Structure 1
Amino acid sequence: MRTSEVVHILDALEHAGVRYWLTGEWGVDALHGEATREHRDLDLAVDADTFETARTTLEATGFTAETDWLPVRLEMVGGPGGWADLHPVRFDSAGNGVQQGLDDVTFPYPAADLVVGSIAARRVPLHLAPVAGRVSCWVRPEAPGSSRPQHPRRPRGALEPMATTGQFS
């Protein structure tokens, strides 16, 4: 999935009023402030209150459900460039979220881990906790003979916290 395809999806979700946070490899890229390579899919934590709107919005852009493990996740395929993996998250009044996992496992989304990153000079919300875990063990594949370091790069600048209430803007 290319950066332009991600931006197209995020534009559609924001226009529909969907509250989302990037996770996974695009979350790592947002933390670094740039796309580092193409990715197979776009992982999104989606506020459970706007989840159905997210689904119908992606269907309107050409996606169809491929793997339905709700309430854990819904993987959709098609649309512009690949897959979107939606993870519903329920938030409490303090802005802390919980994602349901398989076998009664849950994954916390503390309000302090919801921060702002950047993709294509565009501010995007991201969930830091799973992204930070990927950054700590992520090695960028480089072409043989490349002079670029083969170790994770550190995020640029300080992280900007994001309120979990209201639409991201």
Structure 2
Amino acid sequence: MNATHILLVHRILDGAEHRDLPLWLGGGWAIDARLGRVTRKHQDIDLTFPGERRDEFEALLASLGGRVTEEMDYGFLADVDGALLDCEPAQWNGRAYELEGVPEGSCPDAAEGVLGGRAVRCNSWDAILWDYFHYAAEVGRAEWPDRHVASYRLACAAVGVAKVEGLRAAFAQQQPER
């Protein structure tokens, strides 16, 4: 599955480059790309795309035989060749693309990861951890699948305890009802 996902990511990024459409890996694949190694078996591919260019992004997926399978409150799910894509829009703020409600710098312009020998854009470590904080607010950590526990630990180790604690405190301030 991982080798198939990596090839698919490369196909998607090739098509995106042809359209001058920036895309960012998110979730577990972003962690792996930022670390420069595959750390676990993946079940999906998280992608961030420019929100105002959703039609172009969907056309790219369709050109690869893909289709949107479900609308979500944060974006949509799609299928390309049997691979699940979890797609979330970023918004242009006049300087950069950003994920909504996430610390600034969530979608860096530079390729900050490597996947299958290819430099790739990834969501920032802050955005990756922010996503885990949301997940923890919905699902108790004791109920997390082993793959999420392992990936969260890798992300925490990559940025350090002080950074994680600072981000967690900022998240708690932004989410007072939790």
Q: TM-score by structure 2 length?
A: 0.64
Q: Which of structures 1 and 2 has the larger relative contact order (alpha carbons within 8 angstroms, sep 6+)? A: 1
Query: What secondary structure does 1:44 align onto?
Result: strand
* Residue pair 2:106, 2:123 contacting (<8 A) in 1 also: no
Alignment of 1:11-50 (within 5 A): 11-50=14-53
Deviations 1:57-81 (CA, angstroms, capped at 9, x unpaired): 00110111111136x21100133x4
**For 1:113 and 1:53, how far apart are their aligned partners in 2?**
18
* Residue pair 1:31, 1:117 contacting (<8 A) in 2 also: yes
| Alignment correspondent of 2:71 | 68
Alpha carbons of 1:110 and 1:58: their partners in 2 closer, same or farther (altered >3 Å)?
Answer: same
| Alignment correspondent of 1:90 | 91
**For 1:24 and 1:14, how far apart are their aligned partners in 2?**
21
Alpha carbons of 1:87 and 1:14: their partners in 2 closer, same or farther (altered >3 Å)?
Answer: same
- Decide which of 111, 117, 122 is 2:118's aligned counterpart: 122
Taking only aligned residues, the RMSD between alpha carbons, in angstroms, comes to 2.7
Where structure 1 has 5 or more consecutive residues not aligned to the other structure, the ranges are: 100-106, 141-150, 156-169
The CA deviation at 1:22 is: 1.0
| Alignment correspondent of 1:131 | 128
Query: What secondary structure does 1:111 align onto?
Result: coil
The CA deviation at 1:111 is: 2.5
Aligned pair count? Answer: 135
Structure whose residues are more often strand by fraction? 1
* Residue pair 2:69, 2:77 contacting (<8 A) in 1 also: yes
Give the 4+ runs in structure 1 shifted more than 4 A: none
**For 1:20 and 1:58, how far apart are their aligned partners in 2?**
12
Q: TM-score by structure 1 length?
A: 0.67
Alpha carbons of 1:108 and 1:91: their partners in 2 closer, same or farther (altered >3 Å)?
Answer: farther
Deviations 1:125-155 (CA, angstroms, capped at 9, x unpaired): 1111232455xx7426xxxxxxxxxx63855
**For 1:84 and 1:60, how far apart are their aligned partners in 2?**
15
The CA deviation at 1:30 is: 0.9
